[in-house]
Structure 1
């Protein structure tokens, strides 16, 4: 498939249903892989950077971060993952590692052998799958708001899962607006920002996808995180894990204790903590995220 031609054909945001939220400088394409039509927003030219959004977000999460990376000479690729945004799947189910396989197929179509990777929230699960299973495709990794797979689990982490039961029990027609509020953010979001994230709820399949994500991806991942799955493997790509300082389930002292054995499990690993930010760190502190990512990509993932 000629991705550049498709991107030109669907560049207008009003083409999409509902219309895409505005973000200057992006090109938009539909990329077809087996069973999936992925919406991909991209910007810039140079070494590729793959940005994986969290839940309940989509490509627009990176509206401030991607252009800043592009200005520094990167080609930034922001796909809507299966079950999110403007991507459509033939099968409404979301298998545990389906998004990882979607990404490898997408990268093949785009001609990307290896990329820097930045992930947030649920996108971090897919990013970990990719980094462990296909380390040769990940030049470096910045993981936001989610601890590494090799963490030492503690019951003190349980508040981080407090939103899980309401998401399982929610009606598919109930808005997810309540997630974009304290304690998950430090700065109130404007109605324009909320609309940018939530207008995609007009697509009926998005409401149904929430439960598919919870049962298909998160539930099977929990035993891996609690058990030894990741502890028995080695994380090869240079990895920076960052949290907002107001992301209270992941206070710095606890996170450092959970990750104190990182040398046993990762080739190159570092922690960072971002002032003035909670869970939705890319909205609370985009400039800090940009600075961390650029520094990590250029220090740890340089061409060589």
Structure 2
């Protein structure tokens, strides 16, 4: 790509859509840039102007997860920044290996490169791990955080949550070329995704390094995070940034009654933490109910400043 190299802190130059392989899925209004940090050429989709909001996608997704939510936030006066995380989408890494905090280090490097000292963060699924790590390790960099379909770090563990982990063994055993279409099945979506939508999410897995990142996450990232959650590591810390945790009301074991009971008195563990439940939605809450998710995000950010 022959795009001008930006100076640190400047807005990167837009990269021509035709230069991306495979082709980028359609999402009107977004511009696409490359943000380079040591060892990483990160694809970032951006839309809007105003206070920056970084949106971290889930697995096996990429920036396009925010195609319907991003424009709504932009209309509300935010600059929406949707990076593809290492190993996913159109981001390219010199070293594809993933460790427990690789994505956290990638994120802070990107914020530094873009000259963003402090941002609002929205994250889903795998991205929720990175968002949580940033909020606990670097609270001074987070105005506020919204986490989708991922429990608060301070939530107690219960055996009743085990059914929510049923996706882990098959993803851990994923082999090159195996279909991932089952991930988007009715067990995880309240409204079936179209074949075209699933194709758009899975297109980058044609690249071997993207396909290989699926089991890598569950071998090298998830076990460390789950151990910390299960044994209450985050309950011994304090969550400083104002935080909203959002679930689909049909998201398996994450029923409202159970989640509220396991979280208990949130003031013991967080300066400001709220829970919300979106009607008629499951794990892929962003695809099930994008308008409701966007409304919750904008309302929360407006209220907590």
Instruction: Specify if TM > 0.5.
Output: yes
- The residue number in structure 1 matching 2:284 is 280
- The residue number in structure 2 matching 1:243 is 247
Matches within 5 A, 1:102-181: 102-181=106-185
- The residue number in structure 1 matching 2:267 is 263
- The residue number in structure 2 matching 1:56 is 60
- The residue number in structure 2 matching 1:26 is 30
For residues 303 and 85 of structure 2, what CA distance do their matches in structure 1 show?
28
- The root-mean-square deviation of aligned C-alpha atoms, in Å, is 1.2
For residues 77 and 192 of structure 1, what CA distance do their matches in structure 2 show?
24
- The residue number in structure 2 matching 1:11 is 16
User: What secondary structure sits across from 1:250 in the alignment?
Assistant: coil
Contact 1:36 1:88 in 2 (8 A): yes
284-293 vs 206-215, which moves further: 206-215
1:188 aligns with 2:192: yes
Contact 1:48 1:74 in 2 (8 A): yes
TM-score, normalised by the number of residues in structure 1:
0.96
TM-score, normalised by the number of residues in structure 2:
0.96
For residues 11 and 118 of structure 2, what CA distance do their matches in structure 1 show?
23
1:89 Cα shift? 1.1
Which blocks of at least 5 consecutive residues in structure 1 are unaligned? none
Question: Which of 189, 197, 203 is 2:207 aligned to?
Answer: 203
Moved over 6 A (4+): none
Contact 2:156 2:232 in 1 (8 A): no
What does the per-residue CA deviation read over 1:161-215, in whole Å, with 9 as the maximum and x for residues that have no partner? 1011111112121121110011100111112211211111111111111121111
